[in-house]
Chains A and B, each alone.
Chain A
Amino acid sequence: MDYIILICSTTCHLYIFTPPYHTNLFGKGKEFNAVYAFSAAKRQSGSALYYDPNVSGGPLYFSAEAAYLKTDNRESTINGMLPEDGPSFFAIERIDALATLGWRPHAAALEDYRNNIYIEGRVGFGTRDFSEVSDPAAGISAAALFPGLGEEISLFSIGGRLAYDDRDYKDPPSEISHPLTYVFPGRVLLFANDLYYSFRDLSYPERGGLLQAEADLVSGSEETRFVKLGLEVQRFFTLFYRNRILGLRARLEKAHALGDDSIVPYPDQVTLGGSQRLRGYERGAFRGEGVLLLSAEYRYPIWDTWHAYLFWDEGQIFNKYDEVEVGRFRSSFGGGVNLRTEEAFLIGFRIGHSKERKALVGVSLEQEF
């Protein structure tokens, strides 16, 4: 069922959302999700995803996704745009499309219950129209600080991801003390191969972790040519009592410009701040070609599938690896509550503290870690 939600932001813009729309396309488990947000003609965003978890019924999966964003930094920080700063006032219109084909050994019914390896390749296309809207003469020397400013850039990408994911996976026993239909919140059991598999709750892993490496070669107009690398490690531990969890995360991301004149457009630079990374700062508070993020999070349940957490994030932005220093880390800490069902993330509320913000309150609609 489609419905409409009205949200008033801090500056009282009205947003209209059509929430994600999940379907079981063709009765074969294909998914289509879409979301659209409208604030004004100059400020809109939308995305759509088609996902086929079992291409031809096998271990291959395919997804096609597209995203559209049109916004500016006037009274807004949407998508990491810098907050309006004096005369500098920017606007962006971007389109991204990505097609991914992947393979994992455990597909179909066991996928949500098994540890897995993911090998995937992807190709993408995008456009960036990044412009300075007002009083460019009084503005900062934009070209140096904001690569790609004033350009209309088209770009292609090709890349891939390799991951080993055993978050919340435990060896399946052959006997259990409860019958097959016994269901704990988020703990559905599946009987297969004479073993009892536990559903892996990726929103609240109690053990295991994720090891992931990504690389994308991006090439386009206006000297846009770079490689984007990403490495992520997550690990989860049960503490003093069942489902009181310590989660650790390290993420390294780096865009390497290829060639002396090549650029990494401002919209494609990596950022810190916001709901997932360095949470005591505004979204996109820091931006550069490289980011190193370290997070620790203590999670504990407050209701069936709801949990609260305390976090501590350390992160820094750099353009070259030799700029990375212990002393350059920025800290933030805080806590929050994530509300979810057994199948989907609903909403998260958090409050973070950093040097710049004593108490930054935020809402999130996804959970990256």
Chain B
Amino acid sequence: MVGLRIGVALVCLLVGVADAKPRLTTEPIKWFDADSKDIVEPAEIVENQVWDIADHTFFYQVGKVLNLGWTARRLGNLLNIAEPRQADNVNALDEVPNSSWYTNRHFLHPMSIEELQQGPGHAVPDESGPWEIVAGKFEGGTAGFTIKDAMGQGFLLKFDAEGSNEMGSAAEVIGTKALYAAGFNVPQNSIVYFDPSRLVIGPKAKVPVPGGGKRPMNEQDMQGILDNVIPQADGRLRCVASKFLKGESFVGIFEYHGRRKDDANDRVDHQQRRELRVIGSWMNDADRRAANTLDVYVKGAQGNRYVKHYLIDMGSAFGSNNLMPHMPKYGNEYVWDPRTVFLSLVSLGFYRKGWEEPLPMQYSEIGYFENETFRPTGWVPTYPNPAFERCTNRDAYWGAKILMGFSDEDIRAMVKMGQYGDPGATDELTRLLIERRDIIGRFWFGRVNPLDHFRIDETALHFVDLAVEGKLNSAAETQYQYQLLDAEGQAVGAEQIMAGETRIALDAGLTPGQFHGYEIHTRRGTGKWSKSTRAYFHKWEDGHYQLVRVERQE
């Protein structure tokens, strides 16, 4: 027993078990992370994709276990004496402040249908003149060109693969709109139809030659790429036009762990950034990894130069894996997943994976995307992503509420931007995304009490029950149990139950100049009471209150 106690104490010491007292202050809520201070241009990070995969699949996993702090916390989680480490960039209201990584958009500031469809912008090459090919795109999954239009704007044109017409391009554009509305920085990606005669080979266009080096591009090279593109009935070609991001320079990718050492603004380890831990499962964004990110050294409005962080390449989202449909396993396990390899080995073939028997694929434009085998906690990208791995219940709840913020109409509007030729494909992807949104919402709202949008006025504390708002549960079947808390987080009042309203009348007898709070639990029908959500406020004087903190039980 002595050994166990020492062990537990050591674990507590290593992981720093949280003090139960709430940290209450009347300081303004941090809604902006000042990470755009002027810095010297950082060096470009060039990624070796092979190493990246090997590192995250093998070495990083081993290193993680060898990290005493990580291992102790995991042990603490298992012993139920330590909570998972929460994200570092969360404010007192359990929200993510705006930063060079993320901007709160649709969930906190609802966007109109037009704004959702616009996304980061609907930029297309100017059609008043020829499009000069600056370079061919030979790397990556899709072939294409980089061009300069008559206005001097640069675009990357990416084509769909034969047999998967519309698939990659639609995924790229729909994914762009969705990620932008969710709050991420993304490039302007748009579907474009154009006459191939508009393309002219520029003097600087080069193609790689076997054995290294490059030579000038010729008509045959251009035609070689175009020959793989299936033209529309009118002879035009369909592609994604991705407008070049504006900035002083591109400084490479960002990793999903660690920080840029030459960027003083980069103060939070990337794996501890909440916004990098979520969203992927809804979009089946299985290829979300460092290679599909881009850091741009930009100039701010005040002349400050800093690094802005973008997500790029959404062509591997939903059912698309760029050139071909996603494998059924994508999203269900890593490309090489030691967990399932081991299980399969020792089970002598009796362990069946839900995705082993692929479902029919109705629309080749969508690719392979289904919800039958989808499990919110089981979803993984193609190989371990350190940020995704650290997703806690609270992070996932935060991501889920962003998704639940998309109405059916919002989702349909964004899917329409993929411009599927077959309306059935639009309907089907819309249906799948609505269904998956609800699966995710129902799951995480079941783990974390989904009371949100807290506000306080002269008489009451108000909140929104996101499960009711999202039509996952009805108001009629819902009850709330609440209890007054003091500044120490200790219950000081009797438990009370209410139904049919989401407003807690404030007790007139609360002491001015002090912090108070309410702990609320939710119950649906005859089910169990949920975990708690606590909202703390400061009473300045009668009728003058300030919301200061929201805490959600993990």
Contacts and interface: CB of A to CB of B under 8 A. Distances in A.
Interface stretch (A74-82, A100-108, A298-306): A298-306
Interface stretch (A142-150, A172-180, A317-325): A172-180
B97 interface: no
Contacts of A9: none
A181 B356 contact: no
A183 interface: yes
Contact of B325 (A181, A242, A304): A181
B509 interface: no
A184 B344 contact: no
Nearest to A302: B344
Given A302-B344, A303-B344, A180 B163 contact: yes
B361 A182 contact: yes
Nearest to B360: A177
A183 B336 CA distance: 17
A26 interface: no
B161 A300 contact: no
B349 A300 contact: yes
Interface in B312-367: 323-325, 327-329, 336, 340-341, 344-345, 348-349, 352, 356-358, 360-361, 364
A237 to B, nearest CB: 14
A302 B336 CA distance: 10
Nearest to A337: B345
B51 to A, nearest CB: 18
Contact of A181 (B323, B329, B345, B352): B323
Interface in A182-220: 182-185
Contacts of B324: 181-183
B33 to A, nearest CB: 42
B162 interface: yes
Contacts of B325: 178-179, 181-182
Contacts of A239: 349
Nearest to B342: A302
Contacts of A241: 349, 352
A242 B345 contact: no
B327 A184 contact: yes
Contact of B341 (A179, A242, A306): A306
A178 B326 CA distance: 11
B357 A242 contact: yes
A123 interface: no
Contacts, number: 58
B161 A181 contact: yes
Contacts of A161: none
Contacts of A183: 324, 327
Contacts of A30: none
A301 B364 contact: no
A177 B164 contact: no
A303 B338 CA distance: 9
B20 to A, nearest CB: 45
A184 B349 contact: no
B336 A303 contact: yes
A296 interface: no
Contacts of A122: none
A306 B357 CA distance: 18
B161 A302 contact: no
Contact of A298 (B161, B164, B349): B349
Interface residues of B, number: 25
A178 B164 contact: no
A308 interface: yes
A251 interface: no
Nearest to B162: A181
A177 B361 CA distance: 6
Contacts of B349: 239, 241, 244, 298, 300-301, 308
A97 to B, nearest CB: 34
Interface string A285-305: 000000000000010111110
Contacts of A308: 344-345, 348-349
B164 A181 contact: yes
Interface size class of A (residues with CB under 8 A): 20 to 34
Interface string A223-243: 000000000000000010110
Interface string A333-346: 00001000000000
Given A179-B164, A179-B325, A302 B345 contact: yes
Nearest to B324: A181
A191 to B, nearest CB: 9
B169 to A, nearest CB: 15
A180 B324 CA distance: 10
A177 B329 CA distance: 17
Contacts of B360: 177-178
Given A178-B325, A181-B164, A300 B361 contact: no
A165 to B, nearest CB: 25
Interface in B363-382: 364, 368
Q: Name which of A178, A179, A242 has the most chain B CB atoms within 10 A of its CB.
A: A179
B341 A178 contact: no
A252 interface: no
B344 A301 contact: yes
B341 A302 contact: yes
Nearest to B328: A184
Contacts of A182: 324-325, 361, 368
A181 B164 CA distance: 7
Contact of B361 (A178, A244, A298, A306): A178
A334 B220 CA distance: 57
A128 B163 CA distance: 56
Nearest to A179: B364
B163 A179 contact: yes
Given A184-B327, A302-B341, A302-B344, A179 B352 contact: no
A81 to B, nearest CB: 34
Contacts of B352: 241
Contacts of A304: 329
B349 to A, nearest CB: 3
Contacts of B164: 179, 181
A158 interface: no
A199 to B, nearest CB: 15
A350 to B, nearest CB: 13
B356 to A, nearest CB: 7
A283 to B, nearest CB: 26
A95 interface: no
Contacts of A301: 344, 349
A312 to B, nearest CB: 14
A360 interface: no
Contact of A300 (B327, B340, B348, B364): B348
A57 B362 CA distance: 39
A16 interface: no
A274 B368 CA distance: 44
Nearest to A335: B348
A33 to B, nearest CB: 22
Interface in B159-214: 161-164
A310 interface: yes
Interface string B272-290: 0000000000000000000
A28 B302 CA distance: 63
A347 to B, nearest CB: 15
Contacts of A184: 327-328, 358
Nearest to B349: A300
Given A185-B327, A302-B341, 11 more contacts: A178-B360, A178-B361, A182-B361, A242-B357, A298-B349, A301-B344, A303-B344, A304-B329, A308-B344, A308-B349, A337-B345
11 contacts: A179-B164, A181-B323, A182-B361, A182-B368, A183-B327, A239-B349, A241-B349, A241-B352, A303-B340, A306-B341, A308-B345
What are the nearest 4 A-B pairs in CB distance?
A300-B349, A177-B360, A181-B163, A302-B344
